[in-house]
Amino acid sequence: MGFFGNLFKKPKTEAVYEIKSPDRRLVATFMVDHGQISYFVKKDDKIILRKSRLGLLLKDTTPLADNFSIVRAYSRSADETWKAFWGEQRVIRNNYNETAFYLEETEKPNRLLTVRFRLYNDGVAFRYEVPAQPAMENMVVADEITEFSVDSNSRSWCIPAYQPDRYEYDYSEHPVYSITDSVHTPITIQTPVGYYVAIHEAALYNYGSMTLRLNNSSLKADITPLSDGMRAYVELPFSTPWRTITVAQDALDLTVSRMILNLNDAPRDDFSWVEPTKFMGIWWAMYVGEWTWAPGERHGATTEHAMRYIDSCRNLGIPSLLVEGWNDGWEGDWLENGVNNKFTQSTPDFDMKAVTDYGRKNGVEIIGHHETVGFIDNYEAQLDDAYKYLAQYGIRYVKSGYAGSKMTINGHREFHHSQLGVLHYQKALELAAKYHIMLDVHEPIKGTGIERTWPNLMTREGARGQEYEGGALAPSHACYLPFTRLLSGGMDYTPGILDVSNFSKRIASTLTRQLAYYVTIYSSMQMAADRPQIYESQHPDLFHFIREVPTRWEQTVPLLGEIGKYYVVARQQWEGTDWYVGGVTNEEGRKLDLYFDYLEPGVNYVAVIYRDSEDAHYRDHQLGYVIEERIVRHGDKMEMYVAPGGGFAMHLKKQ
């Protein structure tokens, strides 16, 4: 057995190893117990995860889980900083202690497995690495044994998995013991002693995405199956995604963990061409019933409408314009007919050349749209041509969409979140990078920090966004997101609907809450989602904030929050000195005490404040707002009233 040469120490079937975070407060213990592998996690000597089993179930052979001896443990540490291209924090520290446990089965076929742990001050991560070895050339993963044994009396916040609308569900709170079906990650948990824990994964490539289900009164990995029931087919060597356990004393601290990004590799290519943007769209007019995606009398994506919207973008100072419904295939029942979508052919009333030329003349970029309806076979057959087609018109951004309850891949119906779905999203992303195209993916695979390696993955949807307004969004939703979905990365929530009381799509929001979203929900491609005429004719005073607010940040300082109730965050302008603050509440109005400790001491800042009036209400008085200017300084305190279903935004500039 030559893999480790003569470096082997004597095989051990009983072993207990501790790996500590750099600040030594978080400790993961890896154990081999009668050959069976497991781990547990403590923070400040308090149990976060009880003993939890590790291992992989393989098809037609014994699991990679038992009969192991530890042949070598190799430790190292890292402390480095890296600069993001965009994001919630420009300079990120990556500081961890790592130990890789090299295991070998004590019985034939003596297979090898490595379990690698990384301990950060804010979390634990581990992954399985299966080396190339004589006994196995490839591996069919039937499931993982991996457990996350949190106390089943913990509170938890999550969404159900394997549902037709993918990740587009309401977050709700359950004790862990009452989780009946599989749930998506990130799942956020509060243990009975008060620690906040988020379980998720990082660097998801070529593998089914992890969901969790209740097993033996705790949580266990349930890897999304393929249509044949298997979870992944892989060649060796292979590393699974990192399994991540973020641990914090305060729920707000979860929101600033950069562990998921840190567990991803630096980009291998030059991505200096990526650039955040803000955009309007031939979009909301379809939602309010003014226009349609499909061709016909009320077709939205016509040359004339696009030119009119380009004029508005130019006049309003918005650099990009999304055009949906421009291509052949939207006719009739588009969910059924999407199998015929053509991505290199516009409808007869839409002239791509004329529109992009007109855009260029006016300093406005067009954002292309690929609605695949999950017909991956149809899309992949055209993918290269589809990007080439847009690139030839100078288009640098594409919003893609994967509507439909499942994907059609190789003629089979597969989960978006299965290995084949993951492979598709990756293929589309890598090919986009080749054409220097940046993506905003709707109905995406969840974020696992791969945008560190592929910074052209600008943003995703992957949760209920404002398209669910008009009945299906409660004000609490935006107060769950920062503590759940947004832990996995930015989101295209499509904020900025100022026509809040539109009779065909009423928004459960006050006006200034729409501004707050630009700060509370990060996206490097941020939409001004309403129709331009609304910004032009109504509330240009509020639109001023939408135009000014940046799409990337130097740093992020969460100020106040309780899961599902309220959330307030301050963010500093990228390489600048301005600060922006956003805050939202649920159905309850509240007075919040704001402090300004993050401001430079001894300096006056002019704060332009956009807030709810005292009589504002998301149902009865949506339009009540106040814009005012105040001087604030480090050390000041300000009482901020936020109306039921309301929110506020603030821009602070040095005087």
Residues near ligand NOJ (CB under 6 A) are 324, 371, 401, 403, 442, 461, 467
- With a CB cutoff of 8 Å and minimum separation 6, the contacts of 629 are 606, 607, 608, 609
Residue tagged 């314009």 (tokens):
321
Sign for the CA dihedral angle at 421, 424, 426, 432 comes to negative
Report in angstroms how near the CB of residue 461 gets to ligand NOJ at its nearest.
Answer: 5
> Residue 158: beta bridge partners?
172
442 — phi, psi (to 5°)? Answer: -95, 155
**Binding partner of residue 391 among ligand NOJ, Ca ion, none, CB cut-off 5 to 8 Å per kind:** none
- With a CB cutoff of 8 Å and minimum separation 6, the contacts of 46 are 193, 195
- With a CB cutoff of 8 Å and minimum separation 6, the contacts of 289 are 504, 505
Buried b (16+ CB within 10 A) or exposed e, 102-120: bbbbeeeeebbbbbbbbbb
Binders in 437-456 for Ca ion, by CB under 5 A: 442
SS3 of 481, please?
helix
Q: Which stretch binds Ca ion (CB under 5 A): 178-186, 434-442, 488-496, 638-646?
A: 434-442
**Spatial contact of 123 and 216, defined as CB atoms under 8 Å apart:** no
Q: What is the DSSP secondary-structure string of 391-430?
A: HHTT--EEEEE--SSSEEETTEEE-TTSHHHHHHHHHHHH
Nearest-angstrom CA–CA distance, 390 and 435: 9
Give the x/- contact pattern for Ca ion in 283-322, rule: CB under 5 A. ----------------------------------------
Nearest-angstrom CA–CA distance, 119 and 569: 27
467 is catalytic: yes
**Binding partner of residue 144 among Ca ion, ligand NOJ, none, CB cut-off 5 to 8 Å per kind:** none
Report in angstroms how near the CB of residue 324 gets to ligand NOJ at its nearest.
Answer: 5
Q: For 191-237, what is the HEC assignment? A: CCCCCEEEEEEECCCCCCCEEEEEECCEEEEEECCCCCCCCEEEECC
Report in angstroms how near the CB of residue 466 gets to ligand NOJ at its nearest.
Answer: 9
**Spatial contact of 584 and 512, defined as CB atoms under 8 Å apart:** no
SS3 of 651, please?
strand
Q: Which is nearer to Ca ion, 274 or 445 (CB)?
A: 445
**Binding partner of residue 495 among Ca ion, ligand NOJ, none, CB cut-off 5 to 8 Å per kind:** none
Report in angstroms how near the CB of residue 403 gets to ligand NOJ at its nearest.
Answer: 5
Q: Which stretch binds Ca ion (CB under 5 A): 44-52, 66-74, 387-395, 459-467?
A: 459-467
Q: Which is nearer to ligand NOJ, 122 or 467 (CB)?
A: 467
**Binding partner of residue 401 among ligand NOJ, Ca ion, none, CB cut-off 5 to 8 Å per kind:** ligand NOJ
Report in angstroms how near the CB of residue 469 gets to ligand NOJ at its nearest.
Answer: 12
SS3 of 466, please?
helix
Nearest-angstrom CA–CA distance, 213 and 160: 10
Q: Of these residues, 365, 467, 469, 554, which one is catalytic?
A: 467
* Nearest CA among 49, 243, 33 for reference residue 144: 243
Report in angstroms how near the CB of residue 148 gets to ligand NOJ at its nearest.
Answer: 30
374: left (phi over 0), alpha (psi -120 to 50) or beta: left
Q: Which is nearer to ligand NOJ, 444 or 583 (CB)?
A: 444
H helices of 587-647, in order, are none
Run of H or E including 309: helix 303-316
- With a CB cutoff of 8 Å and minimum separation 6, the contacts of 647 are 478, 509, 510, 512, 513, 514, 515, 516, 517, 520, 582, 583, 584, 585, 612
Q: Which residues are catalytic?
A: 467
Residues in contact with Ca ion by CB under 5 A are: 442, 461
